Amino acid sequence: MVIATLAGGYLVWSSKSKYENSKEAFDSAKSEVKALKSSEIYPSPTHLKEKEKKVSEYVEAVTQLKAKVLEGQIPLKDAFTEQNFRKLMEEESAAIVAMAEKEKLVLPEEFAFGMEAYNKGKQVQQGALSRLEWELNAIKRFVNIAAISGVDSIDDFSRDEFKLENEIAKKDEEEENLSSSNRRGGRSSSRGRSSSRGRSNNAPVNANPMKAAGKVMETYRFTSEITASYEA
């Protein structure tokens, strides 16, 4: 009986001691969290220097990677004109149709390398010409590979337009809308813009150091649905 009482007393004391230790640790953690929540956030000079070092290393690595990628890239033709582009479209469209007939490859109706909009009057932006020429040649290679590989038909083909194809047109539209708005707004609109510029000049400018890294490459995407049959 005495031994049982002593054992029970020890268990009670041990449990109470563990509870007090746990409660003390919890209260300490709670106080620390409360202090962190109420304190102001401030940059650490050590961490800032470390971040700047890592950003510089990243920018340098991206620059080296970009230079390496450019070694194998087909150069763009800066002097490529709209006349050159439309002539290329006409010649390559006829050539791809002739090749498809020879290889018995069925193409979508009025196939034009996903650039059909330009055959329907879409304005060609000067800044997009060299990339359009490059993309047309890339799509031509895809169609030739499909024909050589025994593909029966290209059932559907679409191409994502890239930013430069519409950039100037959108800018012209925005300027026209702004001009129209100014004519309607009169002097009141002019004062509003002046005030806006004042606020903009006083606003703090936070430079993003990651912008110096630039892009390694751009993505030009097209989507195709094909039908093919193979005999084992």
Read off the tokens for 26.
């919890």
- The average pLDDT across 190-201 equals 39
Who has greater pLDDT, 216 or 162? Answer: 162
pLDDT in tens, 102-160: 999 999 999 999 999 999 989 899 889 999 999 999 999 999 999 999 999 999 999 99
Domains identified in the chain, total number? 1
pLDDT in tens, 2-32: 455 545 555 555 666 666 777 788 888 888 8
Contact by Cβ (8 Å): 129, 146: no
- The average pLDDT across 161-171 equals 77
Residue span of the structural domain in which 127 resides: 77-167+216-228
- The average pLDDT across 191-220 equals 52
The answer, yes or no, to whether residue 82 has pLDDT greater than 50, is yes
Q: Is residue 41 part of a domain?
A: no
Q: Is residue 4 part of a domain?
A: no
Q: Is residue 50 part of a domain?
A: no
pLDDT classification of 58: cutoffs 50, 70, 90: confident
SS3 113: coil
Q: Is residue 15 part of a domain?
A: no
CA distance linking residue 118 with residue 130, whole number of Å: 15
Q: Is residue 127 part of a domain?
A: yes
Who has greater pLDDT, 132 or 213? Answer: 132
Who has greater pLDDT, 157 or 58? Answer: 157
pTM of the predicted model, to two decimals? 0.55
Who has greater pLDDT, 161 or 44? Answer: 161
pLDDT in the model for residue 181: 58
Q: How far is CA 158 from CA 74, 99, 114, 169, 232, in A?
A: 23, 20, 5, 22, 31
Q: How far is CA 150 from CA 109, 137, 176, 230, in A?
A: 20, 20, 51, 8
205 membership: H or E segment, kind and range: none
Read off the tokens for 191.
């004062």
pLDDT in the model for residue 229: 85
CA distance linking residue 222 with residue 232, whole number of Å: 30
Q: Is residue 22 part of a domain?
A: no
pLDDT classification of 204: cutoffs 50, 70, 90: very low
Residue the block writes with tokens 């049982």: 4
Q: Is residue 182 part of a domain?
A: no
Among residues of the chain, what percentage have pLDDT more than 70? 68
Q: How far is CA 63 from CA 52, 55, 99, 199, in A?
A: 16, 12, 41, 36
The answer, yes or no, to whether residue 174 has pLDDT greater than 70, is no
pLDDT in tens, 27-51: 888 888 887 777 776 677 888 888 8
Q: Is residue 45 part of a domain?
A: no
The answer, yes or no, to whether residue 63 has pLDDT greater than 70, is yes
Residues 6+ apart with CB under 8 A from 148: 103
pLDDT in the model for residue 117: 93
The answer, yes or no, to whether residue 91 has pLDDT greater than 70, is yes
Read off the tokens for 156.
């559907």
- 112: exposed, middle or buried (Cβ count in 10 Å: 0-12, 13-18, 19+): buried
